[in-house]
Chain A
């Protein structure tokens, strides 16, 4: 299986030009060798000194992590009452953040799994940190369902375990599905990610000078020695895992969407939610990948590995999913109108023109209108612009979840119970804090683990006809250094 895949990969560039696609930017800049790629990536981990930029960035993120911890402390001592939630709007920022983060967490697995199955070679340079991003996003997402509980100390009631009360979880509840989906997703992503790391950890182990790193990476590498038989088992497992992860990605966000779709709240109770949530997830996920990749390749001089082609493809994926999401928005209102159910109609009217109208039109602008610039190739080629657009989409997708959660709840069946929800300072602190946690983890990752899959780059070198050069030549192609 693995073997034939290699073949098609090797045969790809001609195939593409046959397909009449305009000559593509290469997925790997020419002149790279097994050694050069290996050294280039591992040097970031092993040789580079702590970069002031890195220190500042990490410092800020860490400050936000402390803010998060403080907010959580207050939350646990006083109760969820410190947030703006009320009856009827019993879910606020917490669930919004949860859905947003889990959505972001989808791009990683998508890139590494689905693109692997689709044999998109361009995935190679970005899958590793996309997977890392997935993990960290899922970690952030995983916080909120527990934080938002009125009695977080009893979250384990969700786990089916024999207990003296002889009570079991209620498996008809989407929250239980959620619990299983998210924990499964987290675990599988971790395994997938770690598995991908093993050969690279071995590389780093073998090139480490310091004893500490030799031991640490040695332990992590599990004694990988690149045996051909190992490679075979390894690859087929990796491929099978990708095969599993693909439906998993789709299922997870579908299930997250069930939290709403299964409810009877007008604005939630809609069959379009699963596909529209999955598209939204990919949309925001790719936006986040770009948000990270663009600065990363610049500061660490990875333009050779994360080329314009990568950015271009991701922009296209974003555009496509953006259109699906837009379709979702249209259908919501259309269905409300078609169904003619007064509460549904009233709800979607309120969504557009009610008290929360700014949020709705903000999300329309961010997720539907602005991304349309990506139709233009020149826009896609302009990394700065691309980065801004990706940021806007992140904001837009958060707003979308906010509107779905809060606006729907504040305006349901009995007008007598319609009430407004406003986030409190603690709501915001928790959101900011989770952003801090995410970026802090990311900073640690790029500093201590190979952020690009080295062994896959080596394959790429081979396939793109690169190969072995003598050490003296290698120094002729010095790695591009960052400006900072």
Chain B
């Protein structure tokens, strides 16, 4: 898959550079390199690892984590929908004497309200997460990096991207190899 993808791209006129990726042996090495790059003032970079590495996001991320807010709003919407729906049905749209209970039997309306809160929050969670991560995204330039399939097994990659204001191919290549990268590759866009 990746191989062909590369080929497709290669067949295009002079390929622009997406960034320069380096593979590291361990998560510690990767984290070290990332921190160094951060100190160097690189801002546009990303790290790829087979499992989350703590502290890594703080180094490479440019925005705070939006998920809690998204899911809270989702839940809130669910709660309002749930109770509103029941109130509308039982008190406004279909007002009828059932078992001599009051039209607005609020205790009976709690369970559904609760369930919808959870439901909406969970759905907004997954969809939100994918949206924020820009997924699904079947193709991404980084996939063309040699051995990148190891990123989901035991490979640790750091990629400094070409749109970084301080991006200079030579400098970056040199910097990354200094960080003890096993291999350094250009990542074509």
A188 to B115, CA, bound (A): 10
Bitwise interface map of B from 127 to 163 toward A, beta carbon under 8 Å scored 1, else 0: 0111011011111101100001111111000000000
Indicate which residue in B90, B99, B114 contacts A251 across the interface (CB closer than 8 Å).
B114
Indicate which residue in A167, A223, A228, A468 contacts B139 across the interface (CB closer than 8 Å).
A223
User: Which 7 pairs across A and B sit closest by C-beta, in order of nearness?
Assistant: A206-B149, A232-B57, A222-B136, A34-B154, A168-B89, A231-B52, A177-B111
Q: Once the chains bind, are B51 and A230 in contact (CB under 8 Å)?
A: no
Q: Given that A206-B149, A223-B135 are contacting pairs, would A38 and B108 also be in contact in the complex, using a CB cutoff of 8 Å?
A: no
Interface assignment of A3: CB less than 8 Å from any CB of chain B: yes
Q: Once the chains bind, are A467 and B26 in contact (CB under 8 Å)?
A: yes
Residue of B nearest to A187 (CB): B119
Q: Given that A237-B128, A468-B26 are contacting pairs, would A455 and B135 also be in contact in the complex, using a CB cutoff of 8 Å?
A: no
Contacts of B46 in A (CB 8 A): 227-229
Q: Once the chains bind, are A166 and B116 in contact (CB under 8 Å)?
A: no
Q: Given that A223-B138, A234-B133 are contacting pairs, would A218 and B47 also be in contact in the complex, using a CB cutoff of 8 Å?
A: no
Contacts of B67 in A (CB 8 A): 233, 236-237, 240
Interface assignment of B125: CB less than 8 Å from any CB of chain A: yes
Q: Once the chains bind, are A172 and B99 in contact (CB under 8 Å)?
A: yes
Residue of A nearest to B131 (CB): A233
Contacts of A207 in B (CB 8 A): 149, 152-153
Q: How large is the interface on B (under 10, 10 to 19, 20 to 34, 35 or more residues)?
A: 35 or more
Bitwise interface map of B from 23 to 52 toward A, beta carbon under 8 Å scored 1, else 0: 001110000001000000000001111111
Given contacts A3-B55, A225-B148, A230-B135, 5 further A-B contacts (CB under 8 A): A34-B50, A34-B51, A191-B126, A206-B152, A226-B152
Residue of A nearest to B48 (CB): A226
Interface assignment of A169: CB less than 8 Å from any CB of chain B: yes
Q: Once the chains bind, are B54 and A2 in contact (CB under 8 Å)?
A: yes
Q: Once the chains bind, are B153 and A206 in contact (CB under 8 Å)?
A: yes
Interface assignment of A244: CB less than 8 Å from any CB of chain B: yes
Interface assignment of B174: CB less than 8 Å from any CB of chain A: no
Stretch at the interface among B9-17, B58-66, B165-173: B58-66
A67 to B143, CA, bound (A): 47
Q: Once the chains bind, are B115 and A251 in contact (CB under 8 Å)?
A: yes
A222 to B140, CA, bound (A): 11
Residue of A nearest to B126 (CB): A191
Contacts of A6 in B (CB 8 A): 52, 54
Indicate which residue in B94, B148, B150 contacts A168 across the interface (CB closer than 8 Å).
B94
Contacts of A241 in B (CB 8 A): 122, 125-126
A245 to B126, CA, bound (A): 13
Bitwise interface map of A from 42 to 64 toward B, beta carbon under 8 Å scored 1, else 0: 00000000000000000000000
Q: Once the chains bind, are A2 and B52 in contact (CB under 8 Å)?
A: yes
The distance from the CB of B31 to the nearest CB of chain A, in whole angstroms, is 10
Q: Once the chains bind, are A203 and B122 in contact (CB under 8 Å)?
A: no
Interface assignment of B73: CB less than 8 Å from any CB of chain A: no
Binding site for B on A (CB under 8 A): 2-3, 6-7, 33-35, 38-39, 160, 166-172, 176-177, 180-181, 184, 187-188, 191-192, 194-195, 199, 202-203, 205-207, 214, 218-219, 222-237, 240-241, 244-245, 247-248, 251, 255, 258, 455-456, 458-459, 462, 467-468
A selection of 21 A-B contacts at a CB cut-off of 8 Å is A171-B108, A176-B112, A181-B111, A184-B119, A188-B119, A191-B126, A199-B152, A203-B153, A206-B153, A222-B136, A225-B143, A227-B48, A228-B34, A228-B57, A228-B61, A229-B61, A231-B52, A237-B126, A251-B115, A255-B115, A459-B51
- Count of inter-chain pairs, beta carbons less than 8 A: 213
Interface assignment of B22: CB less than 8 Å from any CB of chain A: no
Contacts of B109 in A (CB 8 A): 171
Which of A7, A194, A251 is the most central at the interface, judged by chain B CB atoms within 10 Å of its CB?
A251
Contacts of A168 in B (CB 8 A): 89-90, 93-94
Q: Once the chains bind, are A459 and B68 in contact (CB under 8 Å)?
A: no
Q: Given that A167-B94, A180-B112, A255-B111 are contacting pairs, would A224 and B135 also be in contact in the complex, using a CB cutoff of 8 Å?
A: yes
A192 to B129, CA, bound (A): 12
Which of A2, A203, A228 is the most central at the interface, judged by chain B CB atoms within 10 Å of its CB?
A228
Q: Once the chains bind, are B47 and A227 in contact (CB under 8 Å)?
A: yes
The distance from the CB of A480 to the nearest CB of chain B, in whole angstroms, is 21
Q: Once the chains bind, are A232 and B61 in contact (CB under 8 Å)?
A: yes
The distance from the CB of B152 to the nearest CB of chain A, in whole angstroms, is 4
Q: Once the chains bind, are A229 and B50 in contact (CB under 8 Å)?
A: no
Contacts of A7 in B (CB 8 A): 54
A313 to B56, CA, bound (A): 33
A231 to B60, CA, bound (A): 12
Q: Once the chains bind, are A231 and B49 in contact (CB under 8 Å)?
A: yes
Contacts of A188 in B (CB 8 A): 118-119, 122
Which of B66, B68, B126, B154 is the most central at the interface, judged by chain A CB atoms within 10 Å of its CB?
B154
Residue of A nearest to B75 (CB): A244
Q: Once the chains bind, are B118 and A160 in contact (CB under 8 Å)?
A: no
Contacts of A231 in B (CB 8 A): 49, 51-53, 56-57
Q: Given that A171-B86, A172-B101 are contacting pairs, would A237 and B125 also be in contact in the complex, using a CB cutoff of 8 Å?
A: yes
Q: Once the chains bind, are B121 and A258 in contact (CB under 8 Å)?
A: no
A187 to B126, CA, bound (A): 11
The distance from the CB of A8 to the nearest CB of chain B, in whole angstroms, is 11
Q: Given that A2-B52, A180-B111 are contacting pairs, would A34 and B116 also be in contact in the complex, using a CB cutoff of 8 Å?
A: no
Q: Once the chains bind, are A166 and B94 in contact (CB under 8 Å)?
A: yes
Contacts of A205 in B (CB 8 A): 1, 152
Q: Once the chains bind, are B25 and A229 in contact (CB under 8 Å)?
A: no
A227 to B56, CA, bound (A): 10
Residue of B nearest to A179 (CB): B112
Q: Once the chains bind, are B93 and A34 in contact (CB under 8 Å)?
A: no
Contacts of B53 in A (CB 8 A): 228, 231
Contacts of A236 in B (CB 8 A): 65, 67-68
Q: Once the chains bind, are A228 and B93 in contact (CB under 8 Å)?
A: no
Q: Once the chains bind, are A223 and B137 in contact (CB under 8 Å)?
A: yes
Interface assignment of B176: CB less than 8 Å from any CB of chain A: no
The distance from the CB of A205 to the nearest CB of chain B, in whole angstroms, is 8
Q: Once the chains bind, are A233 and B65 in contact (CB under 8 Å)?
A: yes
Interface assignment of B85: CB less than 8 Å from any CB of chain A: yes
Q: Once the chains bind, are B27 and A462 in contact (CB under 8 Å)?
A: yes
A393 to B132, CA, bound (A): 45
Residue of A nearest to B52 (CB): A231
